């Protein structure tokens, strides 16, 4: 069996184990058994053992999130719509993510370090994701598109982890948020006409 296939089987098995008994109680033994593989095979695929499997599992879950996001914004007409759909989807993904919510509630100390590493990757991922949409637009004078993407990614990550005074379930509020705090300084004024 190819190494990637073995790793993938173990990651999906680890996700199942974590969803059932949490991160602390998930052992390499459990994961191997769940995947129908030997303990030795598991260690060959993840020499770092348990910690490495768990990190890979968090990374895999983040990738799944991006694949979902991609599907959600496919065919969107412009940057504004991409961001509106993306924000609503991302927030809902967090709130409705049973495993994430359960682990956050019961083992935040275990999850958070991994999540923090992951949040830097997610931020870079959001910036990459938005780059082509930004490239299609005329940006505010003097604005560098990489800077714009980074600022947007930071803000998006902030709103989806804690919406604060914004209701991300309400499409009207999301539309205002996208056109004010998120894009008003970034896209050239003539295209943000709705609010000017």
Partner 1 sequence: MGVAGGSLRVVSTFAAEADAGFSAGAPGRQDDRSLVSERRSDAGAPHAESPHRDRIIDGALACLARFGTSKTTVEDIARQSGLSRATVYRVFPGGRDELLAAVIDTEAARLFSALGVRLGTAHSLPEALAGGIAEASARLRDHAALRYLVEHEPELILGHLAFEDYENLLEVASSFTAPFLARWMRQDEAERVAEWAARVVLSYAVSPSDRTDLAEPDHADAFVRTFMLPGIEALHADSNRPIDISAHHLPTPHP
Binding site for partner 1 (CB under 8 A): 94, 104, 108-109, 112-113, 115-116, 119-120, 123, 140-143, 147, 150-151, 154-155, 157-159, 161-162, 164-166, 176, 179-182, 184-186, 189-190, 192, 195-196
Q: Which is nearer to partner 1, 29 or 147 (CB)?
A: 147
Sequence-distant (6+) residues with CB within 8 A of 8 are none
The phi, psi pair for 156, rounded to 5°, reads -60, -45
| Smallest distance, partner 1 to C-beta of residue 44, A | 28
**CA–CA separation, 149 and 117 (whole Å):** 19
- Minimum distance, C-beta of residue 61 to partner 1, in the bound complex (Å): 15
Residues sharing a CB contact under 8 Å with residue 121, sequence separation 6 or more, in sequence order: 59, 62
Q: Judged by CB, which is closer to partner 1: 88, or 155? A: 155
Nearer to partner 1, 70 or 112 (CB): 112
**Cβ nearer to partner 1, comparing 1 with 116:** 116
At closest approach, how far in Å is the CB of 68 from partner 1? 19
User: Phi, psi at residue 115, to the nearest 5°?
Assistant: -65, -35
Nearer to partner 1, 13 or 58 (CB): 58
Cα of 59 vs its chain's centroid, Å? 9
Cβ atoms of residues 187 and 193 within 8 Å:
no
* CA end-to-end span of the chain: 59
The least distance separating partner 1 from the CB of residue 22, rounded to whole angstroms, comes to 16
Count of beta carbons in the 10 Å neighbourhood of residue 188: 12
CB of 75 to partner 1, least distance (A): 26
């Amino acid at each position: 069996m190819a190494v990637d296939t073995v790793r993938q089987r173990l990651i999906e098995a680890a996700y199942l184990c974590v969803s059932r008994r949490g991160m602390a109680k998930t052992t390499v033994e459990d994961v191997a058994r769940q995947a129908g593989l030997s303990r030795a095979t598991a260690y060959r695929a993840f020499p770092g053992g348990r910690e490495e499997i768990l990190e890979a599992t968090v990374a895999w879950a983040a990738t799944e999130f991006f694949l979902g996001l991609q599907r959600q914004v496919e065919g969107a007409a412009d940057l504004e719509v991409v961001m509106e759909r993306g924000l609503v989807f991302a927030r809902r993904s967090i709130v409705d993510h049973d495993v994430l919510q359960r682990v956050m509630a019961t083992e935040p100390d275990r999850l958070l370090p991994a999540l923090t590493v992951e949040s830097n990757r997610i931020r870079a991922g959001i910036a990459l994701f938005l780059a082509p949409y930004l490239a299609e637009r005329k940006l505010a004078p003097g604005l560098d598109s990489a800077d714009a993407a980074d600022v947007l990614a930071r803000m998006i990550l902030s709103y989806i982890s804690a919406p604060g005074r914004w209701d991300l379930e309400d499409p009207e509020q999301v539309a205002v948020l996208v056109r004010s705090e998120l894009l008003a300084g970034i896209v050239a004024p003539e295209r943000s006409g709705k609010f000017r």
